Chain A
């Protein structure tokens, strides 16, 4: 049995990242919030992190299987369907958090749920219609091989629906930077918004720039994701020197005040 080292690295990296994402979700879930509607929004934000952790873990698991040469098509297709469902759930949570923060409208969750349900159906259709015929053991991942992969407008719509709402939400989130005076809030907005923007912008840029299969990009993209997650974690749990220098509060500090 030949083990593909890049795939193995990718799998281990993904598992590490999943653990970090889950840790972030857990730390954020400890935040004490009085308003029930705000609790829902914050809860959906933690769903994003847990979802991200789950989908990254599944991706890492598939990479690990690929690394050892196990390429069962039914297993990979099933895992892909599950992964996409979790991804839609996570995206819905992130976008709802951003929308609620901006509008205060808790009913938008229903509309978002419907949107992402439709989006998930489109994704399933995309996979099914493309007729998966096998699993390709690539250097950095183990994508499905399609008999007739759908391209064109449908393909663009899929990607736009995946990335654009989050990028727009991130940019809108960033505009709040200019509306707050509290240093802690400014600090968090800056870090969280640009982490999300860069995180979601990078796959699009790679797709457009044709970097997707470059080794260095595979590495960089993973580092971007991990860095973004760590940055967001740092947004809520700032290092001591930042706290002392700028008077920024961590979630723990806020919880204690509460």
Chain B
């Protein structure tokens, strides 16, 4: 049996003769293994050769040990050109420095490197062009040693596809329109930079989120359902929408959307291209506004537009121009238009048109003329026109004219009115000037002749103009000498006057009839009554003061004398009244004694007296009683003068009714028909007015005592806006010749035997009514009765005139209480 052995012979050093040793090892098993390995390697080689991808094996020296047909095809080399050569020959020059080390490192680490795990690199074709490849490395060991098997895939097409995709992505990112991709559930899957700019959201913020929630789309002129329906049916939709920016502001966009469908035809998503059309919208709005403004301008100016075709002689109007010229049709002949021109304006207009249509002119003209409408009305038109020419030089000729027309009839009428008003105004100015001259002359006469001091002062209280009397009082010969001067130049007490005038200028309130004592420059003193009022200019502004001072020295002296006399008279009256009151009061006691003792004498000793004696005593008593009555009346008269008067509401009707009832009760033998008007109310002193009615009604009662059908009426009537009350009776009456004596004290028109009385009653009535500020009078006819009238003014008229508030000065206080 043969079997393979391994023989090893070694010489032992130092031995002479040489000695050799030999070792024989059975390597049958190893040989079998090697044969199996060879068979395996051959198998591997066949596999490599048959692989669809390029494969090469690289040994530890970086040289190609194995290659297959696909690798040879990929790199353009034959097997012989590759085997045994460095693998760097397949790597572009600029990458070669790195390749071996990679390989070395790889071999050192003995770790596999799957496809796609490494970087995509470039291979070098034999003809020099570079090939994008992807390499997978795998170490293996063969009988010949350690190798690295490189699986190489040509990724040229894939790279091209990726480049195309990248290019398309770049394009999508680069476009100014916001491109948004979303899936079938409207979740955002693509969001380019333009979308980020337009809506403010970063891609990472919106991807995976609902576009509807992010953008809150509001479609213009449609709704979401319609849009989705359109997309579903037609695959695309285009329109405008309002979307929301991240900051909440609205963005107006134009949207173009398309539907994405899968192979099965189902919708897989949408792509929308959104374009910001805010500027376009603004431009549209501006354009619209501009057009609107132009239209409004035309409307506001009420401009009509017309075109005159100079070739055909036709004139075309717009609606307003047609109305302005009074035509029904839009197109008329030029002759028709000219026929409407007012005859007075026709020639002038013809000349202006001729000038404008002259080829040498610029064709522009503007004019105003009148047109006569078919109804005969005349309208003024203002026209601005431009004639257009054709050709140049001698062949230049007018072909058409455009113009605007405006109805200026109202303006013309207004101008005419203004002109007429101006004429009238001028006429009035002339008249006014004449009147002013006359007024000035009159004023001058007034200033020269009036004894009163008249003066005009400016805002600084300097004289502007003075009367001659004023100038004379100031010690001047000519009033003009005072102009520019002030009171300070003449008076030592000028400050007071100055302050008052400044107050008038400040407040605008006048000082009327202020009485003051003036010490003139020549030191003579007078009393003057001064009225100062604000001096106004045409606009009503206060520019100074105007004053008149009247010399009232004589009047003041008279008043003082009068006042003194009045005080003396009042004192005398008071004393007289006090005296009469005192006398009346004091006389009553002895009178009572006379009456009382006479009565006692009659009662106790009457039987001792003869009838004549008793009669004398009766007469004594009667006289004493009458005198007592007289004294009572005198006391009443005195009282009504002294008591303070009240002013309260008084029901005269009620008072009169009470008095009538009392008269009936005390004198039942006399029958009188009373007619008392209701609601006779006044303001006054109730007690005093009671006295008035008592006198009137008891007089009526008394003087009707001889009448069979006695009547007394108390009523009122309105006379000259005044209520007049009256008491009328049908009694004895009186002769009107004595009417003025009725109200005097002790005045009687009848004898005591006819009608008893003291003659004080009506005097008392008059005093009471006068104290109320009213009037009292009477009318009567003998035998037919009398009527007594009286008035009681309203409250404010019977109030005593308020005394002017006294000036509270130290000197006054000292005068009063030192």
Which residues of chain A have C-beta atoms less than 8 A from B817's C-beta?
33, 38, 41-42, 45, 97, 100-101
B810 is an interface residue with CB less than 8 A from chain A: yes
Decide if B818 touches A176 in the complex (CB within 8 Å): yes
Known: A35-B806, A37-B808, A104-B808. A176 touches B814 (CB 8 A): yes
* Nearest chain B CB to A34 CB, angstrom units: 8
CA distance A188 to B817 in the complex (A): 10
Cβ-defined contact, A188 with B818, below 8 A = yes
Q: Which A residues touch B815, using CB under 8 A?
A: 182, 185
Chain A CB within 8 A of B16 CB: no
Judge whether B814 and A101 touch: CB under 8 Å: yes
Q: How far is the CA of A37 from the CA of B812 in the complex (A)?
A: 12
* Contact pattern, A 93-108, Cβ under 8 Å of B = 1, otherwise 0: 0000100111010000
Which one of A102, A182, A192 lies within 8 Å of B810 (CB-CB)?
A102
**Which residues of B from 772 to 815 have beta carbons under 8 Å from A?**
806, 808-815
A22-62 contacts to B, CB under 8 A, are 33-35, 37-38, 41-42, 45
Is there a chain A Cβ closer than 8 Å to B6's Cβ? Answer: no
User: In whole Å, how far is B329's beta carbon from the nearest beta carbon of chain A?
Assistant: 94
Kindly state whether residue B816 has any CB partner on chain A within 8 Å.
yes
Query: Is A86 located at the chain interface by the 8 A CB criterion?
Result: no
A115 to chain B, nearest CB (A): 21
Counting contact residues on chain B (CB < 8 A from A), the size range is 10 to 19
Q: How far is the CB of B282 from chain A (nearest CB, A)?
A: 75
Residue A189 interfacial (CB < 8 Å): yes
Are B814 and A104 in contact (CB-based, < 8 A)? no
Query: Do the beta carbons of B814 and A38 come within 8 Å of each other?
Result: no
Which residue, B809, B813, B815, B817, has most C-beta atoms of chain A within 10 A? B817
Among A34, A35, A100, A189, the one with the most B-chain Cβ atoms within 10 Å of its Cβ is A35
Structural contact, B813 and A100, CB atoms closer than 8 A: yes
By beta carbon, the residue of chain A nearest B803 is A34
A245: CB under 8 A from chain B? no
Are A189 and B806 interface neighbours, CB within 8 A? no
Shortest distance in angstroms between A49's beta carbon and chain B's nearest beta carbon?
14
Distance of A37 Cα from B817 Cα, bound (Å): 10
A38 near B810 with CB under 8 A, answer no
Residues of B within 8 A of A102 (CB): 810
Q: Which residues of chain A come closer than 8 Å to B806, judged between CB atoms?
A: 35
A38-B816 contact, Cβ under 8 Å, with A104-B808, A104-B810, A179-B810: yes
Residues of B within 8 A of A38 (CB): 813, 816-817
Q: CB-CB contacts of A166-178 with B at 8 A, as 1s and 0s? A: 0000000000100
Asked whether A180 is an interface residue with its Cβ less than 8 Å from the other chain, the reply is yes
Shortest CB–CB separation between residue B800 and chain A, in angstroms?
15
The complex places the Cα of A34 from the Cα of B817 at a distance, in Å, of 10
Give Cα A34–Cα B805 distance, bound, in whole angstroms.
Answer: 12
A interface residues, tally (CB under 8 Å):
21
A97 CA to B816 CA, complexed, in Å: 12
Residues of B within 8 A of A179 (CB): 810, 814
Chain A residues with Cβ under 8 A from B818's Cβ? 101, 176, 180, 185, 188-189, 192
Which residues of chain B come closer than 8 Å to A189, judged between CB atoms?
818
Residue of B nearest to A32 (CB): B816
Which residues of chain B have C-beta atoms less than 8 A from A185's C-beta?
Answer: 814-815, 818
Kindly report which residue of chain B lies nearest to residue A106, judged by CB atoms: B808
* A38 CA to B811 CA, complexed, in Å: 12
Inter-chain contact A104/B813, CB cutoff 8 Å: yes
CA distance A104 to B814 in the complex (A): 10
Chain B contacts for A33, CB-based, 8 A: 816-817
Query: What CA separation (Å) do A102 and B813 show in the bound complex?
Result: 8
- Return A30 CB to nearest CB of chain B, in Å: 14
Inter-chain contact B814/A180, CB cutoff 8 Å = yes
Interchain nearest-CB distance for A47 vs B (Å): 13
CA distance A35 to B805 in the complex (A): 10
Which A residues are CB-close (under 8 A) to B810? 101-102, 104, 176, 179
**Distance (Å) between the CB of B45 and the closest chain A CB?**
135
Complex: how many Å from CA A45 to CA B812?
17
Find chain A residues with CB under 8 A from B814 CB: 101, 176, 179-180, 185
Chain B 434-470, CB-CB to A under 8 Å as 1, else 0, gives 0000000000000000000000000000000000000
In this complex, which of B809, B811, B815, B816 has the most chain A Cβ atoms within 10 angstroms of its Cβ? B816
Residues of B within 8 A of A100 (CB): 813, 817
Least Cβ–Cβ distance between A157 and chain B, in angstroms:
31
Give the docked Cα–Cα distance between A185 and B814 (Å). 8
Q: Which residues of B contact A45 (CB under 8 A)?
A: 817
Bound-complex Cα distance A192 to B818 (A): 9
B808 contacts across to A, CB distance below 8 A: 35, 37, 104
- How far is it, in angstroms, between the C-alpha of A185 and the C-alpha of B813 when the chains are bound? 11
What are the residues of chain B within 8 A of A34 when measuring CB–CB?
Answer: 816
| Residues of B277-320 contacting chain A, CB below 8 A | none
Q: Which of A101, A182, A188, A192 contacts B813 (CB 8 A)?
A: A101
> CA–CA, A176 to B817, complex, Å?
13
Question: Shortest CB–CB separation between residue B14 and chain A, in angstroms?
Answer: 146
CB-based nearest A residue for B816: A38
**A150–B243 Cα gap in the complex (Å)?**
95
Residue of B nearest to A102 (CB): B810
CB-defined contacts of B811 to chain A, threshold 8 Å: 180
| Residues of chain B with a CB closer than 8 A to A41's CB | 813, 817
B553–chain A nearest beta-carbon distance, Å: 23
Q: Which residue in chain B gives the minimum CB-CB distance to A31?
A: B817
Minimum CB–CB distance for A128 against chain B, Å: 38
Q: Which residues of B contact A182 (CB under 8 A)?
A: 815
Contacts of A176 in B (CB 8 A): 810, 814, 818
Q: Which residue of B lies closest to A187 (CB)?
A: B818
Query: How many whole Å from B570's CB to the nearest CB in chain A?
Result: 12
Shortest CB–CB separation between residue A190 and chain B, in angstroms?
A: 11
Question: Which residue from chain B places its CB closest to the CB of A44 in the assembled complex?
Answer: B817
Contact code string A195-236 (vs B, CB < 8 Å = 1, else 0): 000000000000000000000000000000000000000000
Rounded to whole Å, the gap between the CB of A132 and the closest CB of chain B is: 40
Distance in Å: Cβ of B698 to nearest Cβ of chain A: 41
In the bound complex, residues from chain A placing their C-beta under 8 Å from that of B809 are 104
Cα–Cα, bound, A65→B811 (Å): 48
* Docked pose: A77 CA to B810 CA in angstroms: 43
Chain B residue, CB-CB nearest to A34: B816
CA A176 – CA B814 in complex, angstroms?
9
**Contact mask A3-36 → B, CB, 8 Å, 1/0?**
0000000000000000000000000000001110
Complex alpha-carbon distance, A41 and B808, angstroms: 13
Looking at the assembled complex, report how far the CB atom of A170 sits from the nearest CB atom of chain B, in whole angstroms.
13
Q: Which residues of A contact B812 (CB under 8 A)?
A: 35
Cα distance, A97 to B814, chains bound together (Å): 11
CA distance A223 to B491 in the complex (A): 54
A37 to B805, CA, bound (A): 12
Residue among B808, B810, B812, B813 with max Cβ neighbours from chain A (10 Å): B813
Complex Cα distance, B812 from A185, in Å, reads 12
Cβ distance B565 to chain A, nearest Cβ, rounded Å: 15
B637 to chain A, nearest CB (A): 27
Q: How far is the CB of A253 from chain B (nearest CB, A)?
A: 14
B794 vs chain A, min Cβ distance (A) = 28
Contacts of A188 in B (CB 8 A): 818
Contacts of A97 in B (CB 8 A): 817
**Complex Cα–Cα for A176 and B810 (A):** 9
Chain A to chain B: the 10 pairs with minimum beta-carbon distance, closest first? A38-B816, A42-B817, A104-B808, A185-B818, A38-B817, A188-B818, A41-B817, A33-B816, A101-B813, A104-B813
- Which residues from chain B sit less than 8 Å from chain A, CB to CB? 806, 808-818
Q: Which residue numbers of A lie inside 8 Å of B, CB to CB?
A: 33-35, 37-38, 41-42, 45, 97, 100-102, 104, 176, 179-180, 182, 185, 188-189, 192
Extra pairs beyond A45-B817, A104-B813, A179-B810 (19, CB < 8 Å): A33-B817, A35-B806, A35-B812, A37-B808, A38-B813, A41-B813, A42-B817, A100-B817, A101-B810, A101-B813, A101-B814, A101-B817, A101-B818, A102-B810, A176-B810, A176-B814, A176-B818, A180-B818, A185-B814
The contact sample of 10 A-B pairs, CB cut-off 8 A, is: A35-B808, A37-B808, A104-B808, A104-B809, A104-B813, A176-B814, A179-B814, A185-B815, A189-B818, A192-B818
